[in-house]
Structure 1
Amino acid sequence: MTEILHIHPETPQPRLIRQAVDVIRQGGLIAYPTDTTYALGCGIGEKDALERLIRLRRLDDKHQFTLLCPDLSVLAVFAKVDNPDYRLLKAHTPGPYTFILKATHEVPRRLMHPKKRTIGIRVPDHPICQALLAEQGGPIMTSTAHLPDDEFPLTDPQDVRDFLQGQVDLVIDGGFCGVTETTVISLADGTGPEVVREGAGPLDAIF
């Protein structure tokens, strides 16, 4: 049975945020709103939750996973960043961007790209996300709530509840989200930004 929590999108209730993070800490898989679309999340070391997410989205072994981070203070722990790239990240976080970077050994191998050894880093501009991360005290593994047979990711909280009932442990209903996923920029090669996916974040701000 999937638990539903109605959390205010601008002033998240601390008690409900604690309940949601308890689910993550107990190895659960949650669906939650972001500054782009709804997303799926779990603890970064939770193998079973990650495998459930992979089955739910039918992801292949080349999928690039992403860490949802509260800010750039944890960046050096999980990713290798040169100064010019750090300035780019600082200028565009929080916001609707995911940056692909070389991962450090602190990232579980199952979350790294199998060949490139990279990890996505995302700093969201959404009060519920930030409250979850503050309560968690560290990053959360995140993936867009984009079901395999759907053209668009989930953005309507009623759809999130209907389609994910019984497939996730918790749905945070935080109202409607946007329909466009993050813009994904790779900085992994050290040759400047490379567009992997054009999305909600404007490209003219990057180049």
Structure 2
Amino acid sequence: MARVVDIHPVDPQPRLVSQVADVLREGGLIAYPTDSGYALGCRCGQRDGTERIRQIRRLDAKHHFTLVCASFAQMGQLVRIDNSAFRAIKAATPGPYTFILPATEEVPRRLAHPKKKTVGVRIPESRTVHAILDELGEPLLSSTLILPGDDGPLTQGWQVDEAVGHAVDLVVDAEDVPAEPTTVVDFSAGYPEVARVGAGDPEPFS
């Protein structure tokens, strides 16, 4: 079973955050709380972690993984953002949105959509996530923890531990998180298209 680490959602304990980052650096897969439900995460270069996420969620090769970033500047290193998209995305971050954009060469080819060469990116509001990202020093490859057959993500640490504790290396427990996934906005065609309505207001991109 996975190790469970109880991190304070408002004032994350540096010692525990460091332990989470160490698991990630060692190639581990974690389940962690975000501002839009629990997610699975590993380092971007960790091929084994990517495959473990696919197995847990039963994802095909067309699934858009998300790169969770600490800042807009970090996001800009991973995807190409034109001027019109820049203003709209900048205004909506941090927040419960995932943006699909053309990937740069910084993104491993296997993580991008096989045909579109795009990838999802987001900047969450969660203090816990930002603490982990700051300690890790790089983006986190992530996928919302929606199990096969479920409509929404898991929201409580004990649920996550029971459901996937056997399949991940560490579960970050915090206060209950929202059950609504992010709103997904696809810019791959050069204009915004709302691909999924979730926690973020879709109106600015409609």
TM-score above 0.5: yes
Moved over 3 A (4+): none
Aligned to 1:205: 204
Query: Unmatched 5+ residue regions in structure 2?
Result: none
When normalised by structure 2's length, the TM-score is 0.97
Aligned AA for 1:123?
Answer: I
Report how many aligned residue pairs link the two structures: 206
Shift of 1:206: 3.0
Does the CA contact (< 8 Å) of 2:152 and 2:181 recur in 1?
A: no
Instruction: Please give the residue correspondences for 1:1-207 in structure 2 after superposition, counting only pairs within 5 Å.
Output: 1-190=1-190, 192-207=191-206
Query: Unmatched 5+ residue regions in structure 1?
Result: none
Shift of 1:98: 0.2
Q: Could you list the per-position Cα deviations for residues 12-55 of structure 1 after superposition, in whole angstroms to 9, with x for gaps in the alignment?
A: 00100000010111100000000110000000000011111110
Q: Relative to structure 2, which stretch is displaced further, 22-31 or 197-206?
A: 197-206
1:31 & 1:111 partners in 2: Cα distance?
Answer: 19
1:164 & 1:84 partners in 2: Cα distance?
Answer: 40
Q: Could you list the per-position Cα deviations for residues 142-182 of structure 1 after superposition, in whole angstroms to 9, with x for gaps in the alignment?
A: 10011113232111221011111211000000121111100
Does the CA contact (< 8 Å) of 2:88 and 2:204 recur in 1?
A: no
2:181 & 2:75 partners in 1: Cα distance?
Answer: 22
For the aligned residue pairs, the C-alpha RMSD in angstroms reads: 0.9
1:196 & 1:206 partners in 2: Cα distance?
Answer: 11
Partner SS state of residue 171, structure 2: strand
Partner SS state of residue 147, structure 1: coil
Partner SS state of residue 80, structure 1: coil
Does the CA contact (< 8 Å) of 2:69 and 2:139 recur in 1?
A: yes
Partner SS state of residue 9, structure 2: coil
1:205 & 1:6 partners in 2: Cα distance?
Answer: 36
Partner SS state of residue 48, structure 2: helix
Aligned AA for 1:50?
Answer: T
Q: Relative to structure 2, which stretch is displaced further, 27-36 or 156-165?
A: 156-165
Aligned AA for 1:42?
Answer: C
1:186 & 1:103 partners in 2: Cα distance?
Answer: 13
Q: Could you list the per-position Cα deviations for residues 52-106 of structure 1 after superposition, in whole angstroms to 9, with x for gaps in the alignment?
A: 1110110011101110001111123211110111111110000000000000111
Shift of 1:138: 1.4
Aligned AA for 1:199?
Answer: G
2:149 & 2:15 partners in 1: Cα distance?
Answer: 35
Identity level (%): 49
Q: Relative to structure 2, which stretch is displaced further, 171-180 or 151-160?
A: 151-160
Identify if the C-alpha distance between structure 1 residues 48 and 83 changes in structure 2 by more than 3 Å, giving closer, same or farther: same
